[in-house]
């Protein structure tokens, strides 16, 4: 398992709801927390490790501590209030940052790894991270939320990611987009 980089097709994939919580999902979540900490991240969606399933993990401290780790399975943002702009980055777009407008406060509903439903009211960094990761599950990346002017500032970064990805495909280090999409479809069916 590894974090995929833009423009991997998984980052544009609309995730399928999780129908069963079992040992395979728990194992995947544990690996994702390890990857996230290694990459110095605070949130990671299943799409970012090329899995087409509707869940993500967060720990806004960025420090390995089970008390601060949250798993959101089949999350739904039920309400949004206010609006605030802030800087965002993404483990699938390393070292790239941009200003993104998000709701100031949200209410999110999801299930945990035990299958228990929960609701959280979030604001500030936790609210921003949950909105960012929920976007991933819908195939939306943070540059999609930036203003045209702000997007111009990172266009060169996006072009570089595209160039590196396509060169790796030409060398056979990464499968073709069609093969990657087929794998995602097969994974959806395996759920």
Measured distance CA(61)–CA(35) in Å, rounded? 15
Q: Residue 183: exposed, middle, or buried by beta-carbon count in 10 A (0-12, 13-18, 19+)?
A: middle
162 is catalytic: no
Q: Give the bridge partners for 109, in sequence order.
A: 76, 119
Measured distance CA(190)–CA(164) in Å, rounded? 31
Nearest to 99 by CA among 119, 81, 84, 85: 85
Tokens describing residue 155: 């266009």
* Torsion region of 29: left, alpha or beta (phi above 0 gives left; psi -120 to 50 gives alpha): alpha
The one catalytic residue in 76, 133, 155, 162 is 133
Residue 135 near residue 56 (C-beta atoms within 8 A): no
Tokens describing residue 1: 């398992």
Phi and psi torsions of 169, nearest 5°: -65, -45
Active site residues: 133
């Amino acid at each position: 398992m590894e974090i995929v980089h833009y423009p991997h097709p998984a980052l544009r994939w609309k995730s399928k709801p999780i129908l069963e919580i079992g040992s395979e999902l728990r194992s995947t979540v544990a690996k994702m927390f390890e990857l996230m900490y290694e990459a110095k991240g605070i949130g990671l969606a299943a799409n970012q490790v090329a899995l087409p399933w509707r869940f993500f993990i967060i720990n806004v401290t960025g420090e390995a501590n089970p008390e601060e780790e949250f798993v959101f399975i089949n999350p739904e943002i039920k309400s949004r209030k206010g609006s605030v702009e802030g800087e965002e980055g993404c483990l699938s777009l390393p070292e790239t940052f941009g200003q993104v407008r998000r709701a100031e406060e949200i209410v999110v509903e999801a299930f945990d790894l035990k299958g228990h439903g929960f609701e959280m009211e979030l604001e500030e960094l936790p609210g921003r991270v949950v909105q960012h990761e929920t976007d991933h599950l819908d195939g939306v990346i943070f540059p999609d939320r930036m203003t045209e002017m702000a997007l111009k500032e990172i266009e060169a970064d996006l072009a570089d990611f595209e160039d590196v990805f396509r060169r790796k495909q030409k060398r056979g280090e990464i499968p073709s987009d069609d093969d990657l999409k087929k794998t995602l479809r097969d994974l959806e069916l395996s759920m």
